[in-house]
Chain A
């Protein structure tokens, strides 16, 4: 038996956190989710797999992407022509409810319903496989669904398909489960989706997140892909294969004390670290001393990066890296104002960096969904506070200079 386990294709959904993107890259970015998914389907056909499992979030339904749907029709048609069944479950992004979908996918496609269902397959080799799974009927599925999964069927193999996250105990929205529960089903394989970071929750039987096929934000670094699973001596052995055409990477540099130095340093680093494919790189530079106010402002506004990107286009192209952000960090100088006691600053911070104050300050901006979503992320607050402290530190340095 041979099958492919992929998840979170997120077809035709945009890359996040890119402020400026050259047109040449834009086209590549736009195609990347499709290109990655195509590699999955190509692999399925080239390897003559017995079936393909897609564990949720094939696309973002809210985005109502025509391209994604047209693409799926085309690719499912390809699999159909090759006689390969595709079993798909919808996740929190492509949940079932859609009154638009009036035309069904080709006959080889099985879409799991909102209740846990089991699909039986008899392979060309004569082996029998049971595949159990379900689709999200709406955005959230707060209840543990594993209970609904049947025990190992009287087939040669039984595979579970689950789009969800390990239970944290409370406030879980995405079909929470525990590894112990899954193991208790005695399935031969659990094809998980939802978490974009590829990981194994258990080795044998494999309980795996395939991760998404194409990283779409700086938080999704590294090579992305899917699993080709083959039966070997009664066990299912997953083998990872790459699909991503664009990678994300974070890089840390140190040294330099001005933007001019930083510019050269970045260019040198790029030349020294070429990537094997287009790689969107976020750089954090540890400076030996804080930037001057003007430099800091230039960096902060993004003007410097935009200029740098324009001037170093050739270098970036040669290294196949595109620097998406440059953050500088300085040794956090102790906030010690010459004229104001430290405790006043801490007192002030305590009054300022409160959720209430932040919320109040954010005020009307909460009405914008994109900003509101960003703002509600806990790391946003942390980042903002850290930046504020950094800026204050810079100001104190200036004050010190001023005094001198």
Chain B
């Protein structure tokens, strides 16, 4: 880029002036205040814009009020342009024309045409003046490096500034050695918190220890509790026993087990009696009331006294009245029986008078006796007939014998003696048989006796030796006599027997011939007596019935005085009829009567109940009962009291107390048990307290939330730190990135710049310094003698020369791309004459490559510098 002409409308002290420029070295010469700096500023302002009105000293508005601004004609890439700028917003109003093509261009094109040079780069690199060189010293080393970097890459000042800002921001976030930056503070806080947490974490070990202790203590506690429970029970028992001692003594005193307990005199019995007597009293009262009522009623009704009485005992009388018909029948029966009895007695008396000679009735024969008597009578009649026949025979024989031998009769017959002996034997047997028991035996015996007699009389007789007629006669007579005797004996015997029978049956006074009739009478009498007995019996029953009835009636109705039944019956019938009559009479009397009846019944029942009650207890009166009852109750009270005491004591205590020797002994035992309890309690309290403490500690540990709180705080802090660190990293990385990009962008030129700068610097310093070294962090120069000098060690002039050399080198090296003219405004003030000359020569040299506009007050320059374009500003 080459500036061809500067046209000033109005700028600072200039107005309407034109400065033509050529491609090489242009020198604009003028003393102070000739407008050198104004021109420098004019170029910058037209190309890059007017400074804002905040900096009026930099705006160079025309002092005479002419039009602010101007125009510059320049050539870029073989095309001519004309840019004009007048006052306006945002750095002034720009007009751009492509002169070659005669084309108006938009204002924004200017920036692109000038790129990558901007105002800052222009002022920093291309507009060289002493103050700007001087800033090298004012700036830090970093600034210098940045400047050089800036020089190294076009348009990098913005980025450098950003990188700076980023680094500053990053430094505020974190500095590895710092204390104040945010992350450093956070790290510190994190460390503090971590320590706190570690301290809090110590509670973890404590927790487990506590847990373990708690477990042990709990089992210990349980153990003690168990022991304590046992011991406490023991102590309690002793205490209880102690407290019960007096009771126990009472219990002992009340011991009267010997007294037997009588039953039937209990409270309930008393109550029963009371109830019963009350019932009696009540019913009696009711009865009396009813009686009075009835009496009053009767007074009106005028009832017979018997009926009145009856009414009272109707309950008892009515059954009697019910019996009355039967009794009446019985009474009639009685009469009939009495008649029968009299008749029967008369008949029996007749028979008795006939047969009972001695007041004793003969006895009746039994069947056997009857037969026997018949047999005997038959035998007797037979024997009598036989005797009569034998008597006749004998009479005949006697006649014969007397005829033959009347004496024979006197002779003794020895045979007859024999016969008598048999007969006697037979008789004995016969009589003996009478003593035998049983009729058959007696009969048998009698027959045997007869047989024996018969044998003696007939068999023996027949066996006697026969005689002749006489003898036969005698024997016949003797035989017949014997037979007669025998017959007589038999008759006697039979008669005897009959007499015996008669005697035995009380018929001694009667001839056997009368016996049959007597027997019939006896049987008749027997029957009569029997019937009499029956009748008497029936009569007795009937009489008893009647008398009982009468007695009963009399008992219940003392007023029924009639002794006679019939009269009584009449009375009763009257009663009944009265009753019947009364029934039909007014009902209230009936009601009262029935009520009275009921009352009486109730009273009777109640009295009976009382009586029964007393009887079952073997008592005579209620007083006796109450006496006994009182006794029993007292005894019961004692027993109850004792039982109550026993209950109060309790079976176990009682048993235990019975084992105790004395009160003192018991006290001692109780004392020791209590002591033991106290000991255990103390232990338990201690353990419980420890447990409570542990629980408290555990609760505290668990619930404090310290750990959790700290951890969450730490986590939050970590998040903050990460955010900070991230931001810091981003800042730093972007900064690094910018630096790296700038380095990359300038990287291929920087060595060349440095090299060129080194050459220039050598020339400027007359080769006192031969080399410039630029690293990202350091800038130093090498002296001819080989020593390295840092910027700070350089003199002001030498340092300015260094800057000048670098800037020129940059301009030269970048000329292919940028080719911005170098504007030097009195830049060599601090240069000595030689170096200034060297500087002029250097400028002359480089003006082959780039356009140089040198503004100077040094008149000598014209001599020392061959120039095609020398403009004197004072012209």
A contact residues vs B (CB 8 Å cutoff): 12-21, 26, 29-30, 63-67, 69-71, 73, 100-103, 297, 300-302, 337-341, 343-345, 347-349, 351-353, 357-358, 361-365, 368, 370-371, 374-375, 380, 383-385, 387-388, 391-392, 395, 398-399, 402-403
* 0/1 interface trace, chain B 376-418, chain A, CB 8 Å (1 if under): 0000000000000000000000000000000000000000000
Q: B residues within 8 A CB of A65?
A: 204, 707-708, 711
Q: A63-B707, A100-B204, A388-B734 are in contact. List 12 more A-B contacts (CB 8 A).
A: A12-B708, A12-B711, A17-B715, A66-B707, A297-B169, A339-B118, A344-B741, A349-B737, A357-B736, A371-B718, A387-B726, A391-B731
**CA A339 – CA B157 in complex, angstroms?**
10
Interface-forming stretch among B295-303, B742-750, B757-765? B742-750
**CA A101 – CA B703 in complex, angstroms?**
19
Given A64-B204, A102-B208, the answer on whether A13 and B740 have CB atoms closer than 8 Å is no
Query: Are A348 and B207 interface neighbours, CB within 8 A?
Result: no
Query: Are A384 and B705 interface neighbours, CB within 8 A?
Result: no
Q: A residues within 8 A CB of B810?
A: none
Query: Are B707 and A392 interface neighbours, CB within 8 A?
Result: no
What distance in Å separates the Cβ of B507 from its nearest Cβ neighbour in chain A?
119
6 residue pairs A–B, Cβ–Cβ below 8 Å: A17-B719, A69-B207, A103-B212, A339-B118, A347-B741, A362-B729
Q: Which residue of B lies closest to A342 (CB)?
A: B741
Q: Is B712 an interface residue (CB 8 A)?
A: yes
- Most B C-beta atoms less than 10 A away, residue of A348, A385, A387: A348
Q: Which residue of B lies closest to A100 (CB)?
A: B208
Query: Are A392 and B737 interface neighbours, CB within 8 A?
Result: yes
Q: Which residue of B lies closest to A350 (CB)?
A: B740
What distance in Å separates the Cβ of A244 from its nearest Cβ neighbour in chain B?
17
Q: Which residue of B lies closest to A347 (CB)?
A: B744
Query: Are A374 and B738 interface neighbours, CB within 8 A?
Result: no
Query: Are A64 and B716 interface neighbours, CB within 8 A?
Result: no
Q: Is B430 an interface residue (CB 8 A)?
A: no
Given A70-B207, A340-B156, the answer on whether A64 and B737 have CB atoms closer than 8 Å is no
Given A349-B737, A374-B722, A388-B737, the answer on whether A18 and B715 have CB atoms closer than 8 Å is yes
In-complex Cβ contact of B734 among A17, A339, A391 (8 A)? A391
**CA A330 – CA B167 in complex, angstroms?**
24
Given A65-B708, A66-B203, A66-B207, the answer on whether A384 and B212 have CB atoms closer than 8 Å is no
**CA A71 – CA B699 in complex, angstroms?**
11
In-complex Cβ contact of A14 among B162, B211, B712, B730 (8 A)? B712
Q: Is B187 an interface residue (CB 8 A)?
A: yes
In-complex Cβ contact of B716 among A20, A348, A387 (8 A)? A20
Q: What's the dominant secondary structure at chain A's contact region?
A: helix
**CA A337 – CA B115 in complex, angstroms?**
12
Query: Are A340 and B741 interface neighbours, CB within 8 A?
Result: yes
Interface size on B, residues (CB 8 A): 66
Query: Are B208 and A103 interface neighbours, CB within 8 A?
Result: yes
Given A100-B205, A102-B208, the answer on whether A345 and B712 have CB atoms closer than 8 Å is no
**CA A343 – CA B741 in complex, angstroms?**
9
Query: Are A365 and B716 interface neighbours, CB within 8 A?
Result: no
Q: A residues within 8 A CB of B719?
A: 16-19
From 827 to 842 in chain B, residues with beta carbon under 8 angstroms from any chain A beta carbon are none
Q: A residues within 8 A CB of B705?
A: 30, 67
Q: Which residue of A lies closest to B741 (CB)?
A: A348
Q: Is B260 an interface residue (CB 8 A)?
A: no
Q: B residues within 8 A CB of A19?
A: 716, 719-720, 723
**CA A340 – CA B738 in complex, angstroms?**
10
In-complex Cβ contact of B722 among A100, A370, A387, A402 (8 A)? A370
**CA A117 – CA B205 in complex, angstroms?**
29
Query: Are B708 and A70 interface neighbours, CB within 8 A?
Result: no
What distance in Å separates the Cβ of B738 from its nearest Cβ neighbour in chain A?
7
From 204 to 263 in chain B, residues with beta carbon under 8 angstroms from any chain A beta carbon are 204-205, 207-209, 211-212, 215
**CA A395 – CA B739 in complex, angstroms?**
14
Query: Are A67 and B708 interface neighbours, CB within 8 A?
Result: yes
**CA A67 – CA B698 in complex, angstroms?**
10
**CA A402 – CA B159 in complex, angstroms?**
11
What distance in Å separates the Cβ of B714 from its nearest Cβ neighbour in chain A?
7
Query: Are B734 and A15 interface neighbours, CB within 8 A?
Result: no
Q: Is B865 an interface residue (CB 8 A)?
A: no
Q: Is B447 an interface residue (CB 8 A)?
A: no
Q: A residues within 8 A CB of B743?
A: 348
What distance in Å separates the Cβ of A294 from its nearest Cβ neighbour in chain B?
12
Q: Is B545 an interface residue (CB 8 A)?
A: no
Q: Is B89 an interface residue (CB 8 A)?
A: no
Query: Are B725 and A365 interface neighbours, CB within 8 A?
Result: yes
Q: Which residue of B lies closest to A349 (CB)?
A: B737
Q: Is B153 an interface residue (CB 8 A)?
A: yes
Q: A residues within 8 A CB of B739?
A: 348
Q: Which residue of B lies closest to A367 (CB)?
A: B187
Query: Are A301 and B727 interface neighbours, CB within 8 A?
Result: yes
Q: A residues within 8 A CB of B730?
A: 384, 387-388, 391
Q: Which residue of A lies closest to B203 (CB)?
A: A66
Q: Which residue of A lies closest to B215 (CB)?
A: A103
Q: Is B190 an interface residue (CB 8 A)?
A: yes
Q: Is B609 an interface residue (CB 8 A)?
A: no
In-complex Cβ contact of A13 among B711, B721, B722, B723 (8 A)? B711
Given A338-B155, A368-B190, A395-B734, the answer on whether A66 and B711 have CB atoms closer than 8 Å is no
